[in-house]
Amino acid sequence: MVQQIDTLQEVAHRYGAIVLDQWGVLHDGSAPYCNAIACLTDLKRAGLRLAVLSNSGKRAEPNAARITAMGFDAELFDVVMTSGEALWLDLAQGRVEARSFCPIERDIGDGAAWAKGLDIALTDDPAQADAILLMGLPDGADPAQYHDFTTIARVRDIPVLCTNPDRASPRAGGVTVVSPGTLAHDHADRGGRVEFYGKPHLPVFCAVEAALGLPPERLLMVGDSLEHDIAGAKGAGWDALFIAGGLHAAAFTGTEPPGKVIARLARTEGTALPDFTLPELC
């Protein structure tokens, strides 16, 4: 049974830290959600530790800067962890063999900015790369336009390193855009090699636990994706709070009780149920 609550403060005191997804929970990509800043400010004043865990192909620092630029105080968050940061750390510590990458990015230059400080090479030619770095897609992009890249990856049997496993992301005005996870899963379905960094995969949750110094039972994940935030958190042994007004907002426009909608969505996606739900962060 999913418990419907009125505010995050109702349950926040049970945990050592609250870990929040970024897109769909804190902001829509262009502006913060209306109650998000006030909610987190109140939690911080009450002594709660806060962290961000985002399926972003970029490193932690630019994501922290984005959040701050939207009006969130930089002092709110004890930890900012991204899937892009997790891959960067693995490369820096020698846990990834590939040294030449062909980036697929949301904006030109994202790959070069991400690679700073690493002894690696970037190339626009997938035939010259050790791996495809799938870190972002431009809003409105058709994944089919990248099939030449993934076809070459399959022919050459090189991996696609996907640092944003999300299949879709919410934007302003209730718009949803295709995200890199869609392309990565299509590539895997066609027999390609994919290595995912980020939610719902366990290592990134373990990285947050280590950064906060807290065991799984002391952590609450707040997210809007059943497939990534909720399933990942429950698999890691965390509690989870589902934000209904994010990625799945269109499913909650009728008269069906939210708990039943969540249960139906979870059955469809084959995921665990969250412990709590809110329409939005408040």
Which pLDDT does position 172 carry in this prediction? 83
Which pLDDT does position 111 carry in this prediction? 97
User: Model confidence at 200, in pLDDT bands (50, 70, 90)?
Assistant: very high
User: Model confidence at 92, in pLDDT bands (50, 70, 90)?
Assistant: very high
Ramachandran assignment for 231, one of left (phi > 0), alpha (psi -120 to 50 degrees), beta (any other) = alpha
Q: Are 169 and 177 in contact (CB under 8 A)?
A: yes
User: Model confidence at 148, in pLDDT bands (50, 70, 90)?
Assistant: very high
> Is pLDDT above 90 for 176?
no
Q: Are 223 and 242 in contact (CB under 8 A)?
A: yes
> Is pLDDT above 90 for 259?
yes
Mean pLDDT, the chain, as a whole number?
A: 95
> Is pLDDT above 90 for 152?
yes
> Is pLDDT above 90 for 204?
yes
Q: Are 61 and 35 in contact (CB under 8 A)?
A: no
B/e letters for 99-131, b = 16+ CB within 10 Å, e = fewer, are eebbbbbbeeebbeebbeeeebebeeebeebbb
> Is pLDDT above 90 for 169?
no
Q: Which amino acid is at 74?
A: A
Task: Provide the whole-model pTM.
Answer: 0.90
> Is pLDDT above 90 for 29?
no
> Is pLDDT above 90 for 254?
no
Which pLDDT does position 275 carry in this prediction? 98
